[in-house]
Structure 1
Amino acid sequence: MTKTTPYLPSSHPSWLFDDSPIPDPHGKGQRAVDFLRALKHPKSTAPGRAFQLDPWVERLVRKVYGDTKPDGTRRIKTVFALIPRGNRKTTLGAALCLLALGPERVPGSQVVSAAVDRDQARIALEEMKGVIAAHPRLEAAFHVQDTKNRITHRKSSAFYRAMSADAATAHGRTPVFALVDELHAWKKRDLWDAIKTGLVKTPGSLLVVTTTAGIGHENIAYETYKYAKAVATGQIEDDAFLPIIFEADPKEDWRDEAVWHRVNPGLSCNPPYPDIVGLRQMVREAEHRPADREMIRQLHLNVWLDGAANPEWSLDVWDENAGELDLSELEGRPAWVGVDLAKRIDLCAVAIAIPMEDGRTALHVQSFCPAGTIRKRTDGVPYPLWRDQGYLTECPGDAIDLELVENYIRGLCERFQVEEIAFDRWHAQDVMKSLEADGLPVAEFPQNIATFARPVIDFEAAMFDRKLVHGGNPLLRWAVGNVVLYTDGSGNRRPLKEKSIDKIDPAVAAIIANGRAAQGVSGRSSYDDADLSDLSLFAV
């Protein structure tokens, strides 16, 4: 079972603000600080437009560059900086890129910054261009090729390149320094893997990741964040990995200004940043807009959200429903099956809900996916792992094998007293006809708001009452965390696939199966609970 990483006090890196000694046996930390202090920034309000090297940033730089091994080589190889929006991460990253082309320079070396798309990738480049243009010696030393997203040090041929994760420019790079910006937004891992493997080829290389918190647990950013947390809390010993994590406890009051100050290091500076007045206004408005509230928690307080940007359900509550699930012990009992065959080229699911004697409902979901889709899933969602764990059945080729799904349903009917197999006819006519021909209890479940209204309520009620025993299925957990619901004017709700953050088919099948089980036990119909004032609800 996947669990949310707990908040721990060590998530606040206090060493950035105290006077504790930072080793610098070879003077490389001081050299880096001197270089940054010599820079100018076009937006700086300091005398002579001096680059603003705030105390917490200076200590970070001294730690990264000064804490060397006895032979003078780099000790820290990876920096993971989880810092909220508005704390000048991009300015810091651009300065470190220039540092890699300055006193850290290796002749002919490659320095890269990488972001989710071309526009984001150019932000660091624009910062570097501004810093170079503000200092005559830098202007003379560097050749800026704006159209090529490239800056070259004339004498040494060391160069910087801005890259984006949506471009096919990853392979063949062997950078000595890589800045990865806003990793939480990366959907694919191709460039990430290319940068990581490229850095290994170069002695003394350094990877710096600067990002805000993200959404969901099945992605590259969360993998890296989870590792950083383990290092920060001492669960993993890795002196080559430096975690710098500013985050609020998910249970803390997002309106508490003391929390803002603890997780936004720039608010400790003079002048402070981000704009505290602007934050206050955003919070006032978010009091009445839940989606804005989640945005503030994620981007300004670095609370890692479980699933959708405006999550419908807390996965902490979902996890408390896990329990022990052994279907073999429940064989022969009455059961209800829900099937979602919405797309034959991606993911479909079959759920079975089995009411138990203690009032709880056992819920098992089996998902199906084409082999081609499993191979193409490169964004950190672990389809191959879920396949190997048995939660995902791989179908040969590039489409769902409906015969395989049908045979799975028939197998459930042999093991359990299946009272109903609920389908959306639009996507499953052939399977329904085949099962009906053999006398199996097929029922139509149109996926509209009328038929979903009560099953959504029943699903929530079972979850909130801790009566939904799902066994900790990680694929199902991921799907539940992705769910976004549409709500009509009468408060009726249904899952909205086109607005959900990722696939929700297993969750949809689970809602159907549990809903039909709840209605089957009570003898109630979906239509008994729907709002009859709008007859258009019943249009299929």
Structure 2
Amino acid sequence: MVAFEYDKSKLLSSVKYASRIPTRAQMRLAHDEGWADQIKSVQDEIAVAEGCRFDIEKPQAVAKFFAERLTHGEDPFYNQPFKLLEWQRERIVNPIYGWWTADGFRRYRSFFVFVPKKQGKTQLAAGLALIEFHFVRGSRVYIVGVAETQALEMYDQCAGMVERSDVMRRYIKVTRSTGKLKWQKRNCRLSCLTKSAAASEGKNASCLILEEFHAWRDRKLFDSLLYAGATKLNPMLGMITTAGDDVTSLCHTEYERAKRIIEGDDPTTDHLAVVYEAPKDAAYDDLDAWKKANPSYGKTMPERGVLADIRAAKGNPQRIASLKRYRLNIWTQSGVQWLDADQWSTCDVLESDDNVEGLLYAGLDLARTRDFAALVLLWYRDDGSFDVLPKIYYPAALVKEKEETDKIPLGSWIDAGWVVPTEGNEIDQEIIFHDVVSANKRWGILDLGFDSYNAGRISKDLISAGINCTAVPQTMTYLGKPSGEFERALSDKRIRHDANPCLKWMISNAKAITDSNNNVRPCKQRSTTRIDGLTATIIALQRALAPDAQRPISDKPWSWSN
């Protein structure tokens, strides 16, 4: 055994909290009982000074429960024992279940775990929820998400762990239809709730776990949940999240508190703060930054996947921002530029519309009647390359006003033929109708996609004119795939276009929405100014890629043999 030494000057707490330093006797006890190595922070030293002790056996029992009762529910570890990784054990399980006050209560009553995606945080949180459900008699454990899908994802993990356990499924009833677990003999309950239900049901909880906390906006509800376990002897409030894009949010407030605790500037001893993140100025392709931010790197997170994600993001500001937020856990601001307009300029230029090649699809975005509208023709080829010719429209009476508000040379664009002026102060849909009919007559449009907003009349007229038209909802389900393909085609220079400066301006304006699976689509609400030409391009590409897209049918004999 290492000899016991006590040097008050070496204690972390001696610098800022000299009146709250553990005594020689307290430190000697920690040494003799074998848990002196668990005193790792200023707050730990203060807790020891206040009489807290570390029970080595309790976290060992929790780790054993994980390994012997719980299994993973997803590939590549499906149905394998849930053996805690070192960071999960040392940074979370050991502190939560090892530290106890002098009078036998938990030291930690809440925790904030801040880790990137793909670290198994949902599975870990599900396991912690089952621990709280299992070891606290009469427990009331609630998994709370802003959206029902968030809460259900963690509940599904809990339910699956029970169903795969030969032991637990004998005494725990799983009711997936209501999102509940029940252990009748011990009067234990586990439920998943949306935040609206949590306002009433979650206030008598022994344990609350708030999933994807960065999405929370209701400060009043959160404040009420802080005291949900006030009548319980050993309550627990857990917040588990990745970085968000709103630095005024609840989550960012808790993140800043966690950082103060970790840096020793907040002496709070009953709140556990765990933060894994890359430096704010880290490059998205810096593997050392990835390793620092991702504690499961190289274990449940193979490096080959990381390198693939880095390659996919190269040259794309929106993808890079998403990588930094979701995978490096760096807070970002909403409204990051989606596409690199300079890349658009490096694509090949179509010198004439006589040179277009491929199958023709069209996209129509009318937006508001007193602003830009766009018709985009897109010729798609089998090798994934395509040609883009836009027609962009604007009310002639509003040109000067637009030049002043958006600081663009709209009049010059009109004079050069890049933008089509329509008489008056509203878009004349008759002009767009005739342009579509003319294009169809010249080249044959296989399918025209349109944003149904403000396009009801013209779409009916086009269908009556014999043009196949399809409404394309502006949702991730419909736009995620073509938006991702447009990104890749832009990066790979698989696009030819006519160098329309108005369309380039719109591309530079574009901001995007990215979901947790890294799907992306343009977002008009987040974009600084108009993006109609880009939206119409994405709609046209959606029709080219859609399973139900129209294809030409030939009866020439040579095509039958190919």
The alignment's TM-score, normalised by the length of structure 2, stands at 0.52
Corresponding residue number in structure 2 for 1:453: 407
Alignment of 1:257 onto 2:287: yes
Distance in 1, Cα, partners of 2:524 & 2:231:
35
Distance in 2, Cα, partners of 1:497 & 1:309:
6
Alignment of 1:491 onto 2:479: no
Alignment of 1:86 onto 2:118: yes
Corresponding residue number in structure 2 for 1:292: 319
Please say if residues 111 and 271 of structure 2, whose CA atoms lie closer than 8 Å, have aligned partners that are also in contact: yes
Please say if residues 142 and 152 of structure 1, whose CA atoms lie closer than 8 Å, have aligned partners that are also in contact: yes
Corresponding residue number in structure 1 for 2:257: 227
Aligned length: 326
Q: Relative contact order (C-alpha < 8 Å, sep 6+): which is higher?
A: 1
Please say if residues 450 and 492 of structure 1, whose CA atoms lie closer than 8 Å, have aligned partners that are also in contact: no
- The amino acid across from 1:197 in the alignment is Y
Corresponding residue number in structure 2 for 1:58: 89
Say which of 131, 138, 155 aligns to 2:168.
Answer: 138
Distance in 2, Cα, partners of 1:188 & 1:153:
32
Distance in 1, Cα, partners of 2:100 & 2:208:
19
Q: Displacement, 1:215?
A: 0.3
- The amino acid across from 1:170 in the alignment is A
Corresponding residue number in structure 2 for 1:170: 199
Distance in 2, Cα, partners of 1:498 & 1:133:
40
- The amino acid across from 2:301 in the alignment is P
- The amino acid across from 1:135 in the alignment is S
Q: 1:445 to 1:179 in 2, by over 3 A?
A: farther
Q: Displacement, 1:72?
A: 2.0
Q: Displacement, 1:193?
A: 3.3
* 1:204-243 residue CA offsets vs partner (Å, 9 max, x unmatched): 1111111110002111111111111111111211111111
Distance in 2, Cα, partners of 1:81 & 1:142:
28
Please say if residues 452 and 493 of structure 1, whose CA atoms lie closer than 8 Å, have aligned partners that are also in contact: no
- The amino acid across from 2:154 in the alignment is A
Q: Displacement, 1:292?
A: 0.5
Please say if residues 512 and 526 of structure 2, whose CA atoms lie closer than 8 Å, have aligned partners that are also in contact: no
Secondary structure of the equivalent of 1:144?
strand
Corresponding residue number in structure 1 for 2:129: 97
* 1:41-84 residue CA offsets vs partner (Å, 9 max, x unmatched): 15477798322211221222011110111222111111111100
Say which of 268, 291, 302 aligns to 1:275.
Answer: 302
The alignment's TM-score, normalised by the length of structure 1, stands at 0.54
Distance in 1, Cα, partners of 2:333 & 2:72:
39
* 1:261-320 residue CA offsets vs partner (Å, 9 max, x unmatched): 11100115xxx12232222111112112110000000000000013324489xxxxxxxx
Distance in 2, Cα, partners of 1:113 & 1:452:
46
Q: Which residues of 2 match residues 321-332 of structure 1 at below 5 A?
A: none
- The amino acid across from 2:406 in the alignment is F
Corresponding residue number in structure 1 for 2:28: none
Bigger Rg, which one: 2
Distance in 2, Cα, partners of 1:229 & 1:85:
19
Q: Displacement, 1:492?
A: 6.8
Q: Which residues of 2 match residues 365-514 of structure 1 at below 5 A?
A: 448=402, 451-453=405-407, 488-491=502-505
Q: Displacement, 1:116?
A: 2.1
Secondary structure of the equivalent of 2:54?
coil
Secondary structure of the equivalent of 2:167?
helix
Measured on the aligned residues, the alpha-carbon RMSD in Å equals 3.6
* 1:425-460 residue CA offsets vs partner (Å, 9 max, x unmatched): xxxxxxxxxxxxxxxxxxx997746641259xxxxx
Alignment of 1:75 onto 2:82: no
Corresponding residue number in structure 2 for 1:203: 233
Distance in 2, Cα, partners of 1:47 & 1:180:
25
Distance in 1, Cα, partners of 2:115 & 2:326:
9
Secondary structure of the equivalent of 2:70?
coil
Secondary structure of the equivalent of 1:179?
strand
Q: Displacement, 1:21?
A: 3.4
Unaligned runs of 5+ in 2: 1-35, 40-52, 340-397, 410-500, 514-521, 530-562
Distance in 1, Cα, partners of 2:176 & 2:93:
28
Unaligned runs of 5+ in 1: 1-18, 313-443, 456-486, 509-540
Distance in 2, Cα, partners of 1:228 & 1:446:
51
Please say if residues 29 and 65 of structure 1, whose CA atoms lie closer than 8 Å, have aligned partners that are also in contact: yes
Please say if residues 114 and 180 of structure 1, whose CA atoms lie closer than 8 Å, have aligned partners that are also in contact: yes
Alignment of 1:21 onto 2:21: no
Distance in 2, Cα, partners of 1:447 & 1:285:
40
Secondary structure of the equivalent of 1:197?
coil
Please say if residues 175 and 199 of structure 1, whose CA atoms lie closer than 8 Å, have aligned partners that are also in contact: yes
Please say if residues 137 and 187 of structure 2, whose CA atoms lie closer than 8 Å, have aligned partners that are also in contact: no
Distance in 2, Cα, partners of 1:449 & 1:94:
55
